[in-house]
Amino acid sequence: MADNLISLDRLKAFWHSQVHHEQTRAHNMKLLRAAGLFAGSILLMRNYGDLMAI
């Protein structure tokens, strides 16, 4: 029980450091934007790429 609470606290601390801390939030948003662009573009290319053919 105590172990679970400790790891939950650590998770919360990690979440706060990544989301609420200004610098890491900016970096994470940049990473998310780039990863989203990459993954989204692959999905679009695979499903609708033929529309760009001439």
Partner 1 sequence: MAGLVPPGPTTVPAGESKKAEEKTDFMNLPCPIPFEELHREALMSLKPEAFEGLRFDFTKGLNQKFSLSHSVYMGPTEIPSQSAETIKIPTAHYEFGANFIDPNLMLIGRVLTDGRLNARVKWDLTDNLTVKANAQLSNEPHMSHGIVNFDYKGKDYRSQFQMGNAALFGASYIQSVTRHLSLGGEVFWAGQHRKSGIGYAARYETDKMVATGQVASTGVVALSYVQKVSEKVSLASDFMYNYITRDVTSSVGYDYILRQCRLRGKIDSNGCAAAYLEERLNMGLNFILSAEIDHRKKDYKFGFGLTVG
DSSP class of residue 41 equals H
By C-beta, is 8 or 19 nearer to partner 1?
A: 19
Work out how close the CB of 26 gets to partner 1 at its nearest, in angstroms, rounded to a whole number: 10
Residues that bind partner 1 (CB under 8 A): 27, 30-31, 33-35, 37-38, 41-42, 45-46, 49-50, 52-54
Encode burial over 9-43: b for 16+ CB neighbours within 10 A, e otherwise: eeeeeeeeeeeeeeeeeeeeeeeeeeeeeeeeeee
By C-beta, is 3 or 50 nearer to partner 1?
A: 50
